[in-house]
Amino acid sequence: MYTINLTDEKPDEKKVPGGDILYRKTLKVHKKYQPLFGERIDVITPKEYAEICDIHELPSISKTNLDGCTNEVLPYIIQKIKMWGCGALTASSISRLLKESKMPSYTAKSKKKHSFGKALSSTLDKELDNAAIASSNTSEWNRNPLNRFDCIVRILSSAECTVSQDILRIMAKFPMTLPLIMPDIEQENEFKVMLPLLTGPVIKQEVKYSVIAENHLFLNPFKLLVALRLGTNYLSGKSTILNQLMATEHMFSSSSEPGASRGQPYTLSGSVEFVWLT
């Protein structure tokens, strides 16, 4: 049975109109994942998942300020999932949330008008060095702080069982991978097997032209052919080759997906993604 271990400490208090106090369930994040998720994350209960408290606009994250960016974009992504807009969970869509920062530009035309001496050349070198340092500081351990797989792990880790089942049921209707094994963000070197939550969603198969058959994932006695992403070597290129065989672009996490130049996902090592081909 899939469980979420809640901390024994007193939950966070939240005052509501009328003077009442609500206590929110929280998870204590292991220090390994705190640079990405923070020390604590709120648990998504069925009531909170079903409520519509606000309309979240498309977020825009600066590439030079990525601290806490995963938590910042999640309300918008969850909102899109509830409306069956799982396209927001693709690598391309998440990468487009990052906006370019304004950096000093020096064109060839300006060089013709001005004579750049040593002082200006030194200033330019210093600015470029500072930009490189700032860029490296935003990605600890050479990890990408905003990517598709970490967003999926963050959502499923913080959601209660029934909420996770509904999210996976919606995701199963789209051509995208699902996590079969993912890290337990509360523990170090511990993993969660997601099979109990993945059992039952309806998947469709075109058995012949214009004939669609419906099956229940891991329940119906039909031949299930799947593709898996295994391993911890993000740069080996196996997932990139596997993606070339898929009709959907950048289906598995790989070193060639949008945003991969910033580093690999925090939660990728030891995880397993799969997608059915039948």
Q: What is the pTM of this model?
A: 0.75
Lowest-confidence segment of 49-63, 67-81, 82-96, 127-141 by average pLDDT: 127-141
Encode pLDDT of 105-154 as tens digits: 333 333 343 333 444 345 445 544 444 444 444 334 467 788 999 999 99
Residue by residue, what is the 3-state secondary structure of 239-259?
HHHHHHCCCCCCCCCCCCCCC
Q: Considering the domain boundaries, does residue 116 fall inside one?
A: no
Q: Considering the domain boundaries, does residue 104 fall inside one?
A: no
Query: DSSP string spanning 89-137?
Result: GSHHHHHTTEEPP------HHHHHHS---HHHHHHHHHHHHHHHHHHHH
The pLDDT-based confidence of 233 (bands split at 50, 70, 90) is low
Q: Considering the domain boundaries, does residue 110 fall inside one?
A: no
* Domain count along the chain: 1
* pLDDT averaged over every residue in the chain: 77
Angle, CA of 101, 98 and 263, to the nearest 5°: 100
Q: Considering the domain boundaries, does residue 117 fall inside one?
A: no
Q: Considering the domain boundaries, does residue 120 fall inside one?
A: no
Whether 53 shows a pLDDT value over 80: the answer reads: no
Q: Considering the domain boundaries, does residue 269 fall inside one?
A: yes
Q: Considering the domain boundaries, does residue 57 fall inside one?
A: yes
pLDDT at 247: 85
Residue 44 burial (C-beta neighbours within 10 Å; 0-12, 13-18, 19+): buried
Q: Considering the domain boundaries, does residue 23 fall inside one?
A: yes
The residue range of the domain holding 181 is 12-97+141-276
Encode pLDDT of 174-222 as tens digits: 989 999 999 999 999 899 999 999 999 988 877 777 788 888 888 877 7
pLDDT at 237: 72
Residue 8 burial (C-beta neighbours within 10 Å; 0-12, 13-18, 19+): exposed
Mean pLDDT for the stretch of residues 74-95: 92
